[in-house]
Structures are given as structure tokens and as C-alpha cells.
Amino acid sequence: MLRQRPAAPKQSGATIKLAQLAPGQQATIVGTVPDAAPPVAGRLWQLGFRPATHVDVIRRAPLGDPTIYRVQDTELCLRRREARLIEVVFDTDR
Amino acid sequence: MTSCHDSGGGPVAVASTRRIALVGSPNAGKTSVFNHLTGLRAKTGNYPGVTVGRSVGTVKVDGVTIAVEDLPGTYSLDAISPDEQVVTDLLAGAFDHIEPPGAIVLVADATTLRRSILLVAQVIRLGLPCLLALTMGDELTVRGGRVDVDALSAALGIPVTAVVAHRGSGIDDLRAQLGTFDRWQRPPILPPSDPEAADAWGKSVLDAADYAAPRPDQRTNRIDQVVLHPVWGVGVFFAVMFAFFQIVFTVAAPLQDLVGQGLTWIGGRVTGHSGNSILGGLIGDGIIGGVGTVLQFVPQIMLLFLLIALLENVGYMARAAFLMDRVMARTGLEGRAFVAMLSSFACAVPGIMATRTLPSSRDRIATVLSAPLMTCSARLPVYTLLIGLLVAPQTRWWGFSAQGITMFLLYLGGGTAALISAWLFKSTILRSDLLPFTMELPPYRFPYPKAVLVAMWGAAKMFLRKAGTIILATSLVLWTLLNLPPRGAETAHLSPTDATAYVMDRSYAADVGKAIEPVFEPLGFDWRTDIALVGSLSAREVFVSTLGQVAAATDPADPREALMTMTDDHGRRVFAAPTVVALLLYFMFALQCMSTVAVMRRETNSWRWPALAFGYMFVLAWVMAFAARSIAIGLGA
């Protein structure tokens, strides 16, 4: 279900991977990539990475990985490997 | 290990006992609620067949005893790791000999309710009587959020109790409700199972409860700007880890010496009063010495867990793991394994116990299997003695002390070997591809003394009860081997030092030493070295004193001179350079420590993993020692 894309999001712009965002940027989650393993996609959903949810990129570790995101009122860190599985649209108006 | 807790059934075997399970996400305050409800009466063990810790406590409500079980933290009942599977299986009654609980207390953090409402939905769907304990309500208010507890209860259809776990407020109310769980309100309709529908259900429930999410915590944000800064953050990290290591290593040492001296004094009194008989020796040296070996670990373990509990409660542990994750990821482990590895530089026993902070049991085992390769402090006296035999104190290499360089290389080698071995285990038998690395960074909070004390006390108690018995038994066996059969008549005219050497040279341990000589002969060890190796299984530093006694040195505490000139049965020097090199390499890799084996048994709940660790490290040590000796001989040393 996480893979179904909801109706076109309000924000303009193409879908990119969460891992491509830089610290300080914000985005809205679209879903997980189709080839994400279902248990992993399910876990990301459970952790709050759900469609139409806002995500803030807080900071990246000094060695470049992992990165802290704020989603559903929690700060969580994900490695690039998992952040690549999440598709987002960039919030341009903020 | 006669304790019934290890037999597989777990501490609560009585089916008629009323049982309640605590379920919640990591960081929800579940363990605080558990500690407040059950105090220090918790019993710990393992779930049958898995390396997942189980803790069960009891609480008395109106004269009725209720068992409360603290389940591992989980974000979801769709388990993706063995640890989470325990929660799902236990609630579904899928374990043999463990009935599902009579009721569930869900613990959820009020500040992250938008996320955890999905877990609430899953748990309510199980159909067991359910109560929601809502924690961190104070923090929600401070950060501008709100929730109407009564409306939330009405919307969920289950009782909801606000609890501020660290202060203990609301706990009495919660405890009072535990007694009547069969009369708890049950929801008329269960939440939907479909994730999308459950999401919508969660939103409607939170709307009905007039829930407003909190603002991000500004204090945490400000602290993180420094603590996680690319430059300052790394500085803070090294300062914290340096202080951590210093405290575990140096503050514990005088305390350990004090324990050691106290017991030596008692042992001396016993031996003295019983006129040097075998019984006196057994009690004075064997039993009291063995107890001393066990007790000497206690200050270090308590200090380590004091520090870990402090760092965890404050919220720094997750930050340290965040900073180190990239490094540890190279081995297949994750950031949280770093502290266990670092602690193992002091001693593998507390290091292995520190793996409990790792959420994945495969990571825990991989860390447990490789941590003993880290150069622990017990190797230090052995290295000092052997390096002294190898390199003269005044020798300099490139302007530096050659002894210092050798010691540094040994530390470096041990650390590298531990990381490589962790990588090997993680890429073969302990792979865990699926489990994504996700770690919550909780807001910084003040540590609560009770939580810290409970963690410290629990660790010490567990060590004494579960590992202490094995260590004591090993010490007794080794004492017997080294001191029997008695030679009272033959040693009557000898000085005490000569008598000890005489007895040891003719002891059962000598028979063992001669029996295993063929194994170690290719490494250049003679049977007297082998006795010292056997003796060092109780603790590596015993190698130094045993070797001293074996060599009949006048001062067993500094046997260097006697050892330098010691010759074997064929008149060759026993400690020629290639043999010393081989011994150094052997001690670098071998799991020459029964206390570590005992604590591995305790932490993995199986003899399989300690046996594997002992085996692979022995083979590694033997091969490396043999290779190093051959190279040294080839170079003409």
C-alpha cells in the first residue's frame, strides 16, 4: 500500500529520493520505491515514513552517513541505504 | 549453573499466576514503568531458544501477586528481527511452556503518539484486555502539545492512564488498575488491520482526543548543534569516550586492588590458622582466591553500567552511535556496538555485558564473539613480562622506546583483529540484511537516579549469580590441578617458595602440561610454560605469577631474570626470542580467560557461542604464533 502513489501532490517538482536531500531541506513523502523489500517498506511506514507525511532533514553525520530526519514528531536516523528507498517531493514553497 | 532460570522455561513457570505484559516502542519509557511497578525484584533470564533477554517482576495489588513481564521494545508486531519476533510470539502464545499473558499494558510516549498509534492499533487487535499507559505527558505540555486522556480512552475503548515514569507519578493509579484487568473496558469494534485504514483510524482517534503534537525540542536542537557538529561534535565524542575509558580502566583499578587485598588478607589468615594443610590451602587460596577473582570484576561492571545508564538516560548514547555508525558499518555492525568494543579494552567481561544495548541479537552475538580479541587490561602484565624478555628497556627504534612500540603494535593488532572477526561473522553466519538500521534520537533528558541505580544493581547481580558460579568453579579446579597431590613430607624442609615450585612441578597441572606439550611444542613452549598457560585460564595475569613459581624465581612478582636464563631439559634457553614472539601472539588471540567464557555463556544463553569463540580464537592464536615463530627463526632471531 505504501507503493501506491496518492493523487498528484500539491507541491510541484519531480519525485526524488530522500537520500538526495541536503540537511535543512524539507519534503513530503510519496512512498517507497517498488523494489523495496516489503518488510523493510513496512517498517519504514511504521516508523512514520508514510505518504503525505512531512520530513525534515536535520543533519548528516560527520562521516557522511547516517542522516537524522524528523518525521511524525520524532528524530530518527537512517542510513543512505534505507533513505534511498523513500521517494519524496521537494517542498519548494518553504 | 543450577538456576532454574536457565532451563528454558523462564522465571515464571506457574500457569495459574496472573500475568501482564508491557509492550511499547523503544524509548517509550517502558522499562521505567517496569522498574517503578516491580522495584528491584525483577528476575532476568532468556526466552527459550533465542538470545533475547527476558525480565519478569512481580507486583502485589490487594494481596494478589501479579507477574509483570517487560517485553523487548518494538515498533511493530510485524517482526523483522528475532528480538521483535519474541514479542509477537509471546503475545500470540507461540512459545512452548509460556502461556500468553492475561492482559497487556501498552506503554506509549505522548510526544510521539502520531507514530505509535499504529502499534496501539495492532496490540488492541490481539483481543486481550489492554490498558494504555501514556508517558511523558509533562514533556508534551512543555513543548506546546496537548492530549485529553479521558477522550483518548473513550475513542480507543480501553482505559488510559497518564504516567510520568521518571517521577513515578501515576504509577499508584496504574498499579491499582492491574488487579482488575478482567474488568477493563474492551473496545466495541477492533481497529482495522489494513495499514491505510489503520492510519485513518489513528488520525480520527487523535482528533477525538484533541491531540496536538509537540513542537520540536529547542533545547535538544541547541545541544545537538554542538554535540553533533562535524568538528566540535567529534571533539566532544572523543572527550566523552576518553573519560569513559579512563574511568572504567583507572578508577576501577584501585577498587579492584582493594577487593583483591582484602581477600588476600582473609585468605592469608585462613591459611595461617590451619597450619598450611591442604584444607587451609583449598579454603584460603582456592575458594577465597576464586571469590576474589569474581568480586574483582564487580567494581568495573558497576562503574561501566553506571556510565552506560547515565549516557543512555541523558540521550548521548544514541548520539555517539550516530557519530560512529559509519565506522562500525564497515564491519557489518552498527554504531551502538562501539561502546561494547571500547569497554572490551578494559575487560571483555563488562564489554560483553554492554552488548545488551544492541537491539539486534545477531549484532549482539557478533560483538560478543569478537570483543575478547580487544586488548584487555589483564593482558597488560603478560605483555609487559614477555616484552621485557624480548626487548631490552633501553632499546630505541626510530627514537622511540622499542618496548612502547611493541606494546602499541599489540594493542593495534588486537583491535584490528576484533573488527575483522566481527566483519567475518557478520558477513557469514550472522548476516542480517533485512533489518534496516533505524535509531531514534530521543530528546536530551535529565537522568533519574533510580533508573541508573537499577541498571547498575541489575548488572552486578546478574554477573554474580550467573557468571560468578562458573568462574568460582573454574578457579577451584585450577587450584586443585596446581596444588595436588600433596607433597607435605617432601617439602617440609624447603622454603615456602621452593616448596610451591616443588609441588607445582609435580602437580596434576604438570601432568596436564606434559600431556598437552605436543600441541604447543611447534610453538616452542615447554611443559612448564604449558602449566602457566593452564593456570592463566582463570585470569591471564596469573600467567606471570605462575611462571614465576614454576621458574622458582626468588621473587615471583618479578621473574624476568630467572626466566631469561631458564633452560629446558635439553639445556636450551626456554624463552628464546622466537618463543617469546610466539607467546605474545598466542596471548593476543587466544581466549585465555574462563571468566569471559562464563559471561558469554550467560549473555548468549548457550554453550555453543562460547565454544565457538574459544575454538576459533585458539586456532587463530596457534596459527599466528606458529607463523610468527617460523618467521622469527627464518630471520635468524
B564 within 8 A of B619, measured Cβ to Cβ: no
pLDDT digits (tens, 9 = 90+) for B545-591: 677 666 654 454 555 667 777 776 677 777 888 899 999 999 999 99
The string of pLDDT tens digits covering residues B314-362 is: 889 889 989 989 988 888 888 888 888 887 877 788 788 888 778 788 8
Q: For B405, which DSSP code?
A: H
Query: Which residues make Cβ contacts (< 8 Å) with residue B222, sequence separation at least 6?
Result: none
Q: What pLDDT sits at residue B408? A: 83
Distance CA B515, CA B511 (A): 6
Put simply, whether A52 touches B (Cβ < 8 Å) is no
For residues B16 and B18, give the distance between their C-alpha atoms in angstroms, rounded to a whole number.
6
What distance in Å separates residue B5's CA from the closest CA in chain A?
33
User: Which residue in chain B has the smallest CA separation from A85?
Assistant: B436
pLDDT at A1: 45
Choose among A43, A76, A81: nearest Cβ to B439.
Answer: A76
Q: Which three cell numbers stand for residue A69?
A: 530526519
pLDDT mean over B407-416: 87
pLDDT in tens, B367-384: 999 999 998 877 877 887
Q: Give the pLDDT confidence score for residue B114 in this predicted structure.
A: 93
How far does the CA of residue A17 sit from the closest CA of chain B (Å)?
17
Q: Is A77 close to B438, i.e. CB distance below 8 A?
A: yes
CB contact under 8 A, B115 and A78: no
| pLDDT over 80 (residue B91) | yes
Quick check: A59 and B112 CB within 8 A? no
Percentage of residues in chain B having pLDDT higher than 70: 88
DSSP state of B521: G
Question: Terminus-to-terminus CA distance in chain A, angstroms?
Answer: 28
Amino acid symbol at A21: L
Tally of CA atoms within 13 A in the half-sphere of B521 that contains its CB: 7
pLDDT of amino acid B551:
61
Which residues on chain B place their C-beta less than 8 Å from a C-beta of chain A?
A: 75-76, 78, 80, 111-112, 114-115, 118-119, 194-196, 199, 213-214, 216, 220, 224, 228, 230, 233-234, 322-323, 325-327, 329, 434, 436-441
State the residue for C-alpha cell 537516579.
B449
Query: Do B435 and B81 contact (CB within 8 A), yes or no?
Result: yes
Query: Does position B1 have pLDDT exceeding 70, yes or no?
Result: no
Kindly tell me if the per-residue pLDDT of B5 is higher than 60.
Answer: no
**CA–CA separation, B72 and A26 (whole Å):** 33
CB B581 within 8 Å of CB B628: yes
How many Cβ atoms from other residues are within 10 Å of residue B299's Cβ? 20
At B271 the pLDDT is 66
Query: Which residues of A are less than 8 Å from B332 in CB distance?
Result: none
Decide: B72 and B50 in contact? Cβ < 8 Å.
Answer: no
Q: What's residue B7's pLDDT?
A: 38
Residue B379 burial (CB count, 10 A): 22
CA angle B596, B599, B604 (to 5 degrees): 120
Which tens digit of pLDDT belongs to each residue from B116-131? 999 999 999 999 999 9
Q: What does the pLDDT average to over B88-104? A: 87
Nearest residue of B to residue A3, measured between CA atoms: B196
* Residue of B115, B220, B328 to mutate for A, most A C-beta atoms under 10 A: B115
Antiparallel, parallel or unpaired: β B438-440 and A74-78: antiparallel
C-alpha B72/C-alpha B83 separation (Å) is 7
Q: How near does any CA of chain A get to the CA of B416, in Å?
A: 20
Instruction: Please tell me the class of the B4-215 domain.
Output: alpha beta
Write out pLDDT tens, residues B203-216: 999 999 999 999 99
> What residue of A is the nearest CA neighbor of B217?
A73
CA A12 to chain B, closest CA, distance in angstroms equals 24
Who among A1, A2, A64 is closest to B326 (CB)?
A: A64
ipTM score here?
0.85
pLDDT at B274: 60
The Cβ-side half-sphere exposure at B339, using a 13 Å CA radius, reads: 28
Residue A40 contacts B where some CB pair is shorter than 8 Å:
yes
**Cβ contact (<8 Å) for A65 and B326?**
yes
B35, three cell numbers:
522498574
Tell me the percentage of chain A whose pLDDT exceeds 90.
56
User: Residue B155 has what pLDDT?
Assistant: 94
Q: Which of B78, B140, B441 to mutate to test the interface with A (most CBs of A within 10 A)?
A: B441
Q: Which residues of B touch A50 (CB under 8 A)?
A: 199
For residue B497, pLDDT beyond 80 = no
| Cell numbers standing for residue A25 | 531541506
Taking CA–CA distances from B143, the nearest residue in chain A reads: A73
The answer to whether A72 contacts B115, with C-beta atoms less than 8 Å apart, is yes
Three-class secondary structure of residue B311 per DSSP: helix
How does residue B417 score in pLDDT terms, banded at 50, 70 and 90? very high
* Dihedral angle of Cα B478, B481, B485, B490, to the nearest 10 degrees: -80
B87-91, B171-175, B318-322, B433-437: range with lowest mean pLDDT? B433-437
Give me the DSSP letters along B94-115.
-STT-PPPSEEEEEEEGGGHHH
Pairing of strands A54-60, A26-32: antiparallel
CA-CA-CA-CA torsion for A61, B425, B360, A75, nearest 10 degrees?
10
CA distances from B152 to B107, B203, B204 (A): 14, 12, 10
To the nearest whole Å, the CA of B294 is away from the closest chain A CA by 40
**Other CB atoms within 10 A of residue B87 CB:** 21
**pLDDT over 60 (residue B217):** yes
Domain A20-90 sits in CATH 2.30.30.90 = yes
DSSP B46-66: E-TTSS-EEEEEEEEETTEEE
Name which of A26-40, B37-51, B470-484 the model is least confident about. B37-51
Q: Are the CB atoms for B121 and B202 separated by under 8 Å?
A: yes
Report which secondary-structure segment, H or E, holds B622. helix B608-634
At B634, the amino acid letter reads G
Q: Which residue of B has its CA nearest to A71?
A: B115
Q: Hey, are the CB atoms on A65 and B325 less than 8 Å from each other?
A: yes
| B436 closest CB neighbour out of A63, A72, A82 | A82
Mean pLDDT of B141-154: 94
Exposure string (b/e) for B117-147, b if CB count within 10 Å is 16 or more? bbbbbbbbbeebbbbbbbbbbebbeebebeb
Residues 6+ apart with CB under 8 A from B601: B1, B467, B470, B607, B609, B610
Helix (H, G, I), strand (E, B) or coil at B497: helix
Task: Judge residue B487's burial from the number of C-beta atoms within 10 Å of its C-beta, 0-12 exposed, 13-18 middle, 19 or more buried.
Answer: middle
A62 touching B (Cβ < 8 Å) = yes
Per DSSP, the three-state class of B67 is strand
Q: Rounded distance, CA A35 to CA B110, Å?
A: 34
Q: How far is CA B527 from CA B235, B241, B316, B518, B551, in A?
A: 50, 42, 50, 9, 12
Q: What's the pLDDT at A86?
A: 94
pLDDT band, very low/low/confident/very high, at A90 (cuts 50, 70, 90):
confident
- The residue among B219 and B302 whose pLDDT is bigger is B219
Comparing CA positions, the residue from B260, B268, B267 lying closest to residue B297 is B260
What span, in angstroms and rounded, lies between the C-alpha atoms of B168 and B220?
24
B205's grid cell = 482517534
Confidence of residue B592 (pLDDT cuts 50, 70, 90): confident
- Cβ within 8 Å, pair A39-B114: no
Average confidence (pLDDT) over B66-75 = 89
> If you average pLDDT over every residue of chain B, what do you get?
82
For Cα atoms B135, B138, B142, give the angle at the middle one, nearest 5 degrees: 135
C-alpha cell at B402: 622499542
Confidence (pLDDT) at B37: 87
In the block, cell 518525521 appears at A71
- DSSP conformational letter for B21: E
Region B169-188 average pLDDT: 88
Q: What percentage of chain B reaches a pLDDT higher than 90? A: 27
* Residue from B637, B609, B115 nearest B368 by CA: B609
For the segment B489-493, the average pLDDT, to the nearest whole number, is 70
For A:9-38, CB contacts with B below 8 A are: 37
Query: Which residue in A has a C-alpha nearest to residue B80's C-alpha?
Result: A39
> Rounded distance, CA B447 to CA B316, Å?
11
* CA distances in angstroms from B44 to B11, B17, B84, B146, listed in the order given: 7, 17, 18, 37
Q: How far, in Å, CA of A87 to CA of B235, rounded? A: 35
3-state helix, strand, coil split of chain A in percent (to 5) is 15, 35, 50
Rounded CA-CA distance B484/A59 in Å is 65
Rounded Cα distance, B299 and B250, in Å:
11
A53 CB neighbours in chain B (<8 A) are none
Q: Which of A62, A70, A72 sits opposite B114 (nearest CB)?
A: A72
Domain-by-domain residue ranges, chain B? 4-215
- Candidates B122, B190, B184; CA nearest to B156 is B190
Average pLDDT over residues B172-185: 88
| Cβ proximity of B507 and B485 under 8 Å | yes
A7 lies within 8 A of chain B by CB: no
Contact A83, A19 (CB under 8 A): yes
User: Residue B11 has what pLDDT?
Assistant: 45
Mean pLDDT, residues B420-448 taken together: 85
> Which of A64, A59, A62 has the alpha carbon at shortest distance from B238?
A62
- Under a CB-based contact definition with an 8 Å cutoff, are residues B24 and B68 in contact? no
pLDDT at B554: 46
User: Hey, are the CB atoms on B441 and A77 less than 8 Å from each other?
Assistant: yes
